[in-house]
Structure 1
Amino acid sequence: MKPFKKVFLLLAALFISGCTSVKLVNLANEPVPQNSAQSIEQAIIQGCKAKGWTPIKADNNTIDAYITVRSHKAHVRISYDDNFYNINYVDSTNLDYKDGEVHRNYNKWVYKLSASIQQQLNTKL
């Protein structure tokens, strides 16, 4: 292989691997099985704790959750009612948030958080 081609392929690989930002995902209207408000709140709190998030009750039907992974931090707000819950981005540190894009790991953490909440909701039936 020619030296120019090797350098080009190396630079292309570095460029592709450096692209870590993706469109930020907020989860809206995630379904809640028919439960009482207390069990929904408890399921969200337990789901957060199971995935390493720290939940703090903000007010009625709202929980703020925080996670720290190495030097990366994320803060989401989880609002809920008898039928649905929402997970919305609030703030982050070292996750390269800019113009609606964020480090791809943030979205993974939020999807895993939602799956954990769903698991807790389904065990509360």
Structure 2
Amino acid sequence: MKSFKILFLLVSALSLSACTSVKLVNLTQEPIPAESRQSIEVAIMKGCKAKGWTPIKADNNTIDAYITVRSHKAHVRISYDEHFYNINYVDSTNLDYSDGEIHRNYNKWVHKLAASIQQQLSSQ
């Protein structure tokens, strides 16, 4: 009986550690500092490039950004106005997106992207 409990605990621990999916995060209403002196679009483009994302202007106040890490790809849409910006998931490859969940690295990449954009907006 004791060995069964140990086996059960081992299998449970392994199954939990193998789980890499987390709830997908979209960042909304991220503040743009009032003292931002440079163009918001330029700051977003620079912030994307600094973290390895490829930004492409989609239309007024919208930038599509792409990142490829090994065989993993993500596509986000960054919309903005003079007060806020949003980073929303569009598509991905090899990140196991399903029913609002995605590989945990995606959220890390998006949070690092947001931090880089904030740094660009705050500089100067």
Counterpart in 2 of 1:65?
Answer: 65
Using the aligned pairs only, state the percent identity. 79
Counterpart in 2 of 1:44?
Answer: 44
One-letter amino acid matched to 2:55: P
Counterpart in 1 of 2:90?
Answer: 90
Distance in 2, matches of 1:6 and 1:89, equals: 41
Distance in 2, matches of 1:4 and 1:51, equals: 48
TM-score when normalising by structure 2 = 0.91
**Offset, 1:108:** 0.8
Unaligned runs of 5+ in 2: none
The count of corresponding residues between Structure 1 and Structure 2 is 123
Query: The residue matched to 2:9 in structure 1 has which SS?
Result: helix
Query: The residue matched to 1:11 in structure 2 has which SS?
Result: helix
One-letter amino acid matched to 2:77: R
Query: The residue matched to 1:9 in structure 2 has which SS?
Result: helix
**Offset, 1:33:** 1.4
Distance in 1, matches of 2:7 and 2:49, equals: 46
Structure 1 residue runs of 4 or more that deviate by more than 6 Å after TM superposition: none
User: Considering only aligned residues, what root-mean-square deviation do their CA atoms show, in Å?
Assistant: 1.6
Query: The residue matched to 2:39 in structure 1 has which SS?
Result: helix
Distance in 2, matches of 1:13 and 1:91, equals: 31
Counterpart in 1 of 2:20?
Answer: 20
TM-score when normalising by structure 1 = 0.91
**Offset, 1:47:** 0.6
